[in-house]
Chains A and B, each alone.
Chain A
Amino acid sequence: MLKGHLDMIVLAALSAGPAHGYAVIEEIRRRSGRAFDLPEGTIYPALHRLEQAGLLASRWVTAQSGRRRRVYSLTRAGSRALAERRAVWQQFSDAIGGLLEGTRPWRKPA
């Protein structure tokens, strides 16, 4: 189920600010209450794909440990894409909520 939403999840994790791959995974775990415990290796191809699509930018920095580290951040296009996906997800979530509760018909926003 997560596969189709991986891009949105990664974009959302980076909305807090620039981060390297490990920190992105930790942020996903933290913000999802550890519900999304993804195989860690799957995050990196997604980060590269999103960068290729212009939704993320990356730069290499030297960490305190002396290791070189690749830090990713949202681009403007990335922020826009995240806002769009958030809106679509909200609509979907409201519609499913209305359906499951069965109490009130969900109305599509104008």
Chain B
Amino acid sequence: MAKAGVISDYLESLATALSFDRVLARSVREEVEDHLCEALAADRTGDRLEAERRAIANFGDPLAIAAQFAVVSLAQQTRRAGIAIILVIGGVFATMKARLAWYAMTEWAMRDDLRAVGATVGLVDRYAFRLSVVIGIAALITVAGRYATSRRQLRRSFLLCVAATALLVVSVISDGVLTALQLAGGDLCADSLVPLLSMTIEIACIGVLVFLVRAIALRTASTAALLNL
């Protein structure tokens, strides 16, 4: 239960300033409420209102505190995105290999007139994927550091995450084009299900990643706004 009056107003403004992360806001609010109640209990002056005001003044400006939490929260989110990039890279690689194995097993060859286009798209796919692996690992190393909480470090990690995601998007689009070329001309049959299903998995994986990176971009903007206040 929040204390009525000055303290509850303070807790409310702190929770509002932390609204970029509702779970964090709830947990911090509860923690700070406990702190302020302890401070009040330790105050022997007898003037309740004055003691509440003093406890709040000693605790500090809610926006300044929220800004510090925002950096911690952003670091955590960036770290999750770094891990997600590696998982998505692994997922895309596995589905790609499964699709190729399926083509080999069913002796499913691309039409001769499409092979030249297929080779070019395949080249783009290969290099985009390889680069995304290198940059994705770099992003993970940057954010895996224990104290990856400086703004410069977080910015670098974010840019690496964006670059790795963009390259993965290119790779998945190329995979889609290659799959379309492979299926072109043939009738859709039960054998087509494996390539189509593998493409669906790739698109879903990349969709999750784009969503995560977008969330980091939004969080970065709100953190910057709090820090510049």
Contacts and interface: CB of A to CB of B under 8 A. Distances in A.
Contact of B149 (A22, A41, A49): A49
A22 B40 CA distance: 11
B17 to A, nearest CB: 11
B33 interface: yes
B38 interface: yes
Given A42-B65, A44-B65, A65 B59 contact: no
A33 interface: no
A40 B58 contact: yes
A101 B65 CA distance: 40
Q: How large is the interface on A (under 10, 10 to 19, 20 to 34, 35 or more residues)?
A: 20 to 34
Interface residues of B, number: 27
B32 A44 contact: yes
Contacts of B34: 20-22, 63, 67-70
A67 B69 contact: no
A4 to B, nearest CB: 12
Contacts of A69: 31, 34
A63 B34 CA distance: 9
A70 B68 CA distance: 19
A33 to B, nearest CB: 18
Interface in B46-92: 58-62, 64-65, 68-69, 71-72, 75-76
A16 to B, nearest CB: 17
Interface stretch (A52-60, A89-97, A102-110): A52-60
A45 interface: yes
B215 interface: no
B28 interface: yes
Given A39-B59, A49-B72, 4 more contacts: A41-B60, A42-B68, A67-B37, A68-B34
Interface of A: 20-22, 39-42, 44-45, 48-49, 52-55, 63, 65, 67-70
Q: Top 10 A-B pairs ranked by shortest CB distance? A: A41-B60, A45-B68, A22-B38, A53-B146, A41-B65, A39-B60, A41-B59, A22-B35, A40-B59, A49-B72
